[in-house]
Structure 1
Amino acid sequence: MKKAYYMAGLIAFVSVCIVNPTYAGSGGGSFNPHGTHVAPSTASQMQEVHNENTSTEKADSDREISEENRTVSIIQQFLNSNGYDCGTPDGILGPNTKSMIEEYQSDNNLEVTGTITTELVREINHATCISAKDFVERYNSAIDAYNKELSSTSPNDHISVDDITSIEPVLLNGNGKLSINDGSSDMQYIGAIKFWTEEGADLVSAKGEAMASLFAFDTSLDDTDAAWNLIERLKGESPLLNNGILYQNDSPQDGWLITGKTSSYLEDSDVVSN
C-alpha cells in the first residue's frame, strides 16, 4: 500500500515538471525544454549583453537622428532670420520647412528641390561664416602686432588666401599648423579651424600663431588683447562657447591643440536629400 502511494506521488511530481519545467529547477536558474540548466549568473549575463547591444543600436540611431535634426534646425533658423517663416526651429524637415526652402532656392537662383542640397549648404555658410579673404587680413594684422611686440629678428610670416584654401594644412613658420573646414570641399568661407604644433616646434612663434588664428576666426575679438584673453580663458575653461563659436583646448603641456567651430557651420556631410 505504501509502495502504491509512493509511486502515485512520483508520477504526480514528474507530471508537474513536464507541464512546468522551471519547477524542476527550484534550486535556482532556469530550465529550458531541451533539458539544459542555465545558471542564474549566465542567464543574467545573457540578458545584460542583449540589453547592451540594444542600447548601443539605439544610441547610434539617436545620434544619426540628432545630427540630422541639428542640420535642419540650423537651416530653419537661417531661413527665419531672412524672412522665410519656418515656425519654431524643431529640426524636422516638414512640409512648411520644405516649402520655405523651395522659396529661398527660387529667390536666390538655386536649384529648387525643397531639400538640403550641397548648393544650399554652401549658400548658408557663405552668409554666416567669415570669408577666406577677411580671415587672412585679420590673421596678418595680428601677426604684425605680435612681431612688433616680440621684436624678433625672425618675425612670423604672413599667410595668403591660397595658403589656407589648399587641401593640406598650412605649415606656419613657427612650425605651427593651421587647417580649416575639415571635412568640407568649400574653403572660401571658414566655419571651422584647427591649430596645433608637433614635436620640435618653436613655441614662442607658435604662441603668436595661435593667437592670430583665433583673432582671424572670431570677429567678436576687437584686438589682439581680446584674443590673448580668449586663450587664457581656454586654459581654464574648455569647451568654451564665444560669439557662437565652440572652442576646444586639448593642448599638451609643451604644445598647442585648439579647435573652433561656428555653431551654424554646415559640412558636406550635413546634406539631407529627403
Structure 2
Amino acid sequence: MAFGRRRQEEKPAAEPAGTEAEAPETGEAAGGPWDAAVDTVPEMERLDFGALQVPIGPGIEVQVNLEPNEFDAEGNPVNGRIVAITVVAGESSMQLQALAAPKRSGIWDELRKELAEEVTENAQGQVQDADGPFGPELHAMIPAPLTPEVLEQMPAEMREQIPQEIIDQGYAWQPLRFIGVDGSRWFLRAVVTGAAVQDEEQWQFLEDVFRQVVVVRGDHPMPPRELLELTLPAEAQQAFAQQEEESEDDGFDPFQRGPEISEVR
C-alpha cells in the first residue's frame, strides 16, 4: 500500500491538544484541535454543533450524519440522533466524532488496534500504521462494492474513469485515513476519504480545518467512548422546521436528503 505522506522532517512535533505553539516558518497551523475550556482558542467563524464547533469558510461544506433511533410500525425510521459531522472539500471528506475519555489516559492507542482488527477481519481490508501531524494514525484500504446501484449514483464523468476490469470484479479498493487526538477527558476522531488520503494539497486543506475544530466536553460525567452530544445549530433547526412545515401534507421524512449546512464560495 502506498500513501502520500510529507517527509517526517517537514512536520513539527505534535502539540498536546488544545495548547498553543509557535507557528512554524512554513505558515502551517499550530496547536489544535482545541478544548473549549482553554483561553487560547483562535477566533474564527464556526458552526456550533454542541460538542463540536466546526470551522467554515470558502470551499467547505458541512453535513450531519444521522443514526435512526426510532421506527414506525412498518420499520421505517422516524427519528434519529446526530452521530458525526462530515466536512466536504472538493473531492475529499472528513468525518468527525467526539467521544468521552478518561481524565488521565487517552484511548487512541486502544481504539487504533480495534479499528485495525475490524478492517482486516470484518471488512477484509488492509491496514498500515503511520505517523502524522497529530501523532499515530491508521491507514487502511477496504474493498468498496461497485453494485449497479452504486454505479448509477456516480456522476457520469467519474463512472467513465473506472476501468472495465474493476467494474467486472465488482469492487474497488477505497483508501481511508484514521486520525485521533486525545484531549482533556475527550477524544476526537477523524476519518478521511477521497483524494485527500493521498493528495498532499487536498490533505493540507482538511488538516487546517481539523486543527481549528473546538471540542466542548462539558462537566458532566460520562463513561469512556460514549459519543458526546451533537445538536443542530440554530440556523439548521430553522431550515429543517421550515421544510417540515412545507411537506406536512405529503408526509415529511426526516431521513430524506434535506437542507445542508454548507458554505461554498
In terms of fraction of residues, the more strand-rich structure is 2
What TM-score, normalized by structure 1, do the two folds share? 0.20
Q: Which has the higher helix share?
A: 1
* Structure-2-length-normalised TM-score: 0.20
Higher relative contact order (CA 8 A, sep 6+): 2
* Rg larger for: 1
